[in-house]
């Protein structure tokens, strides 16, 4: 069993971007600038946005963190996005999800200019991705592809079983793994909460992507020998032994499943850092597109 180490691979991506950003600076070109919008005081969202902003600083990107009150109205948020859209210096905009329940997620996602949609959630980005056109790929699935690519995981003709069909992970990764080039060319099965024979389907998976948000859901008896297992799940579970009062669990029972795998991602340190790396890649691309 070999770990698909998101920390190492994301660091390699960041090192490359750092050099490219220094080269831009030396050539008198603008450096990439990410605007991150954080609404309310959700602890997990704070952590994710904090990592994204720190990563920008590490590699020489500019970043602007916009903190907004939980009580902000939908119109005020949309107005803020219009401002960011109009600001030439800002290349990429991300609004950390989830949003307060009084704000419609689709409206917010659609308001971000597709050219600044570095999270890859805008319908235009998704549509282009589905049609195989150049696009900002959704950050988490894109990060998974970068990880598979880094370790030269064979994907052609493999059966990929994706558990979860959300717009941000399950659905896009299922489409990306079926695209007709590397890393893709998989035969893909998408499983979800209404799937009847999940265990049988998982047992057929050469590659399993677990993205359902149920801690340690995927057990050893659901995985065939030699499978590649990618664990997207991040759930905070109460843990009195931790200073924070919680620990982070993935969707895979790592202890049980890892010995059966050829490759597996850890949680934390697998897909999480790759999501940030992918976001930075998209932001760099959005900046270069303006040259």
**Residues in touch with ligand NAD (CB under 6 A):** 140, 163-166, 168-170, 191-193, 195, 198, 211-214, 232-235, 271-272, 275
Q: DSSP strand E in 44-186: where?
A: 62-68, 92-95, 159-163
Residue with tokens 């991040």: 234
For 28, phi and psi rounded to 5 degrees?
A: 75, 20
CB of 264 to ligand NAD, least distance (A): 14
Q: Which is nearer to ligand NAD, 31 or 109 (CB)?
A: 109
CB of 206 to ligand NAD, least distance (A): 19
Structural tokens at position 198: 């999940």
Which position's Cβ is nearest ligand NAD?
Answer: 166
Least Cα distance to 174 among 155, 193, 151, 152 occurs for: 155
CB of 163 to ligand NAD, least distance (A): 5
What is the three-class DSSP state of 75? helix
Q: Which is nearer to ligand NAD, 31 or 147 (CB)?
A: 147
CA distance 170 to 191: 9
DSSP class of residue 121 equals -
Is 134 exposed, middle or buried (CB count within 10 Å of its CB: 0-12, 13-18, 19+)? exposed
Catalytic residue among 5, 14, 52, 253: 52
CA distance 140 to 135: 14
Q: Which is nearer to ligand NAD, 30 or 159 (CB)?
A: 159
Active site residue 181: no
Catalytic residue among 5, 91, 117, 119: 119
Active site residue 30: no
CB of 52 to ligand NAD, least distance (A): 11
Q: Which is nearer to ligand NAD, 164 or 266 (CB)?
A: 164
Active site residue 158: no
Catalytic residue among 62, 96, 116, 251: 96
Catalytic residues: 52, 96, 119
């Amino acid at each position: 069993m070999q770990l698909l180490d998101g920390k190492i691979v994301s660091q390699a991506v960041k090192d490359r971007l750092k050099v490219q950003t220094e080269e831009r600076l030396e050539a008198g070109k603008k450096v990439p600038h990410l605007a991150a919008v954080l609404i309310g005081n959700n602890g997990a969202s704070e952590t994710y946005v904090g990592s994204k902003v720190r990563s920008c600083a590490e590699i020489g990107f500019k970043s602007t963190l916009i903190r907004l009150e939980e009580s902000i109205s939908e119109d005020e948020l949309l107005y803020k996005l219009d401002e960011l859209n109009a600001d030439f210096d800002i290349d990429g905009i991300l609004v950390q999800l989830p949003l307060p329940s009084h704000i419609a997620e689709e409206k917010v996602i659609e308001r971000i200019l597709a050219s600044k949609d570095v999270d890859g959630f805008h319908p235009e980005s998704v549509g282009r991705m589905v049609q195989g056109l150049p696009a900002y790929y959704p950050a988490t699935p894109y990060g998974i592809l970068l990880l598979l690519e880094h370790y030269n995981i064979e994907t052609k003709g493999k059966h990929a079983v994706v558990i979860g069909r959300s717009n941000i992970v399950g659905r896009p990764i299922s489409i990306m793994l079926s695209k007709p080039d590397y890393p893709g060319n998989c035969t893909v099965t998408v499983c979800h909460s209404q799937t009847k024979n999940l265990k049988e389907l998982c047992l057929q998976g050469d590659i399993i992507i677990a993205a359902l948000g149920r801690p340690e859901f995927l057990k050893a008896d659901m995985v065939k020998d030699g499978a590649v297992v990618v664990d997207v799940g991040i759930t905070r579970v109460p843990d009195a032994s931790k200073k924070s009062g919680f620990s982070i669990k993935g969707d895979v029972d790592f202890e049980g499943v890892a010995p059966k795998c050829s490759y597996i991602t850890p949680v934390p340190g697998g897909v999480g850092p790759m999501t940030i790396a992918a976001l930075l890649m998209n932001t760099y691309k959005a900046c270069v597109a303006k040259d």
